[in-house]
Chain A
Amino acid sequence: MIEARGVGRRGPGGIWLWRGLDLSLVPGRVVGLLGRNGTGKTTLIRTLLGLIEPHEGVVKAESKAGYVPQRSRIAFPFTVRQVVNMGRVGRVRLFSGLSAADRLAVDAAMDRVGVADLAKRPFHELSGGERQLALIARAIAAECGVILLDEPFSGLDLDNQVQTLKLLYGLAQESGLGVLFSTHQPDHLLAGSCTALALMRGGSPVSGPSGELLTDRLLSQIYQTDVRIVQVQRPNVTTLHAAPHFGAYGTPLPEDRETA
């Protein structure tokens, strides 16, 4: 569990990125973090992880926090298993290797995430989605209570986004992990019942249940552009989506005119 009370952090030049942040990342809860570029989403995640100190307020971590960076800085051609093994590094003593229990935890983490069949593949040869899964498996292998992911959907195709989102909600609901992820796509928050946390440049963050908090007005305010929530009727369910107004540019192509 991670508890943040009245937390604030200044950016370069001493200007507040955000302040007055209150957040409880408890087991089983999913928190989605929204905000424009430069509002300090990554800074907030690093602050919650304890990698940097807040300029005001207190962050308390009662359990180990796993971290999945937006882009891993793994420098050498490790295999996926070797990457997931690293999750156990905090538990392995000097001069000793992985115990049988460590190996079981690594196997379980890879099975849970679905990367067991990639175990022998070099990490740097994986696709973006597979890399994300391997890094999530590494965080699970560390047996952390909460897991923080910095834009886990960036660079993923739609199918991989769906699979990753399903996995994150599954980790919270089935494995009881606290999950916090940042994203530029409000749909990832509207897809399930989670807590939305929106960062406003220089102001206080706002948070609440995603279904209630994410309105046309708030999303337009966050992104400084016209965003509408639309409903889509599907066979068994109605889903909510955030639709930004990208504009209508150019002239219709001849075949479009014929169709019209």
Chain B
Amino acid sequence: MRSFAYDKAGDAPSAVAAGGQYLAGGTTLVDLMKLDVMQPAHVVDINGLDKQYGEIEAGKDALRLGALVRMAEAAEHPAILRDYPVIAQSLRQAASPQIRNMASLGGNVLQRTRCTYFRDPSWKACNKRAPGSGCAAMDGVNRRHAVLGVSDQCIATYPGDFAVALAALDAQVEILGTSGKHRLPFGELHRLPGTTPHIETSLSAGDLITGFTVPAAPWLRRSLYLKIRDREAYDFALASAAVALDLDKDRRVRAARIGLGGVATVPWRAQEAEKALTGKIIDETAAQSAADAAFADATTREGNGFKTELGKRTLVRALLQAAAMEV
């Protein structure tokens, strides 16, 4: 860790004006500072803004989540458990109880990749950490790396769970910036690595995420998050699927929302799969063609070849499980 200046934000506008690195739960930021991966000169603690941004509002038309709501709070919230099961499950299966108690939803969506080469500066080649230096993972240990949304510059997986649910559910991000408030479709928050893997989001300097809105929708009750991982708990996804289905009485898909985690460089919305499902009677065949569509463009490396098949199977299982839900 390097020396840095520390300020506590008294109110949101002055936090934004300060132009520092925001500190919420610190479970990503402090970790990466200790590893010398992030070296902010100025850290602005936003935890004092929780009166303003720490609320959960489950309204008729939308669910609103403040950026400083802790993961544990949202995961246990009765209305979310009842009406937005995919969100509750994505949070509940993430990290550990201790981390969920500390970590905020705003920080959660901005958590950074677990690529071990990124997290250890003694590896010289990492385009994300040191632009233009190369990518050690490309021909290195890449079992946990992404197969969707990759570029020849970076194959780092976006590791989070909650953001996968938000990506699937047409959520909006609320942002307070130097030029005031604006909203962004959640799918536009994260950027594909392309030739600039070091630029991970579309946020500008000083932009503060203040909350998220998830519109109410008929598919939410029949929704779930399936996370496949090496161990039973406290592990990042090897593959995950956030699915939400609206079925008619013949079990025909009126609408589907699908997000994929553990397999992509950003929280992944599988629109081709959604299209493939729409209008079909939900069954093994329909689920399989949706999964094939979702992974049609998968690009694998030596260590992560299994992820295409695992990702497909995860999605098929999630869809069939959602279809079988009693709602």
Q: Do A and B come from one complex?
A: no
- Interface residues of chain A, those whose CB is within 8 Å of chain B, are none
Using a CB–CB distance below 8 Å, which chain B residues touch chain A? none
